[in-house]
Structure 1
Amino acid sequence: MRAAPPGFMLSRVTMDPVVRAAIDAANKNDLAAFLACFTEDGVVDDWGREFRGAQRITEWSDNEFIGKKVSLDVTEVDERDGETVVTAQVGGDGFHGPSHFSFRVEGDKVARMTIRA
């Protein structure tokens, strides 16, 4: 587990490059770049609600993520059971608060991103 020091920068934390790309795309509010991080049948699981494929992920993101100008202030990165787990303080115009984002990567793409408290 790697905890980030106060005032840390994401660039100082080591994580899977595709996970970093997804986090960076979200923080830039760049939907196209975010979608490009996923496999063709990639899934976002947002508290048990699953969104599979680019169209469904886009609909979810427009309403709850990038469309809400999300910001993810990463505080911790861990590897658990073959997944990268990112703890972040979420900001923007939607949900605010801490969340855990688990990323399952297949090859060089995210196959599944699961969001939990």
Structure 2
Amino acid sequence: MTIDLPAPVAAAIDAANANDTGAFLACFPPDGVVDDWGREFVGHDEIRGWSDREFIGVKVNLAVVHADIDDVNVVVTAQVGGDGFNGPSHFTFQVEGTHIVRMTIRA
């Protein structure tokens, strides 16, 4: 099954799966936000620190199983693997133009 995602979301998932922190950060504007279960990381430096500890730094792998796309948000259901959390999660991406301004992670 192929799921057609908006370019910034597809790029972020591809970067995460390639364990490419630079490419992942490039998907966000300088003031982008990652909300991981209520813990917010704002800007590239904070997102990098979070990712190094809990996302790309633990060799995350995201297998997309479903996506709901509307005018504002893209909600991706993915099976998460790697050396950190493993299991299903929902990622809500708020896309503006060519960037993800906010990525929210919930189970």
Provide the TM-score with structure 1 as the length reference: 0.89
Equivalent residue, structure 1, for 2:88: 98
> Is residue 57 from structure 1 mapped to residue 47 from structure 2 by the alignment?
yes
Equivalent residue, structure 1, for 2:65: 75
Number of residue pairs the alignment of both structures matches: 107
Matched residue SS, 2:85: coil
- CA distance in structure 1 between the partners assigned to 2:88 and 2:3 by the alignment: 18
Amino acid in the other structure paired with 1:69:
K
Matched residue SS, 1:87: strand
Gaps of 5+ in 2: none
- CA distance in structure 2 between the partners assigned to 1:106 and 1:62 by the alignment: 25
> Is residue 25 from structure 1 mapped to residue 10 from structure 2 by the alignment?
no
How far does the alpha carbon of each residue in 1:71-97 deviate from its partner, in whole angstroms, 9 at most, with x for none? 001100112462000000000000000
- CA distance in structure 2 between the partners assigned to 1:81 and 1:46 by the alignment: 23
Cα offset, 1:40, TM superposition: 1.1
Amino acid in the other structure paired with 1:108:
T
Amino acid in the other structure paired with 1:97:
G
Matched residue SS, 2:89: strand
Amino acid in the other structure paired with 1:89:
Q
How far does the alpha carbon of each residue in 1:1-24 deviate from its partner, in whole angstroms, 9 at most, with x for none? xxxxxxx4xxx2111011000000
Amino acid in the other structure paired with 1:37:
C
Alignment counterpart, residue 86 of structure 1, candidates 46, 52, 76: 76
Identity %: 64
Matched residue SS, 1:15: coil
Give 1 or 2 for the bigger CA radius of gyration.
1
Provide the TM-score with structure 2 as the length reference: 0.97
**Regions of 4+ moved over 2 Å:** none
- CA distance in structure 2 between the partners assigned to 1:48 and 1:74 by the alignment: 22
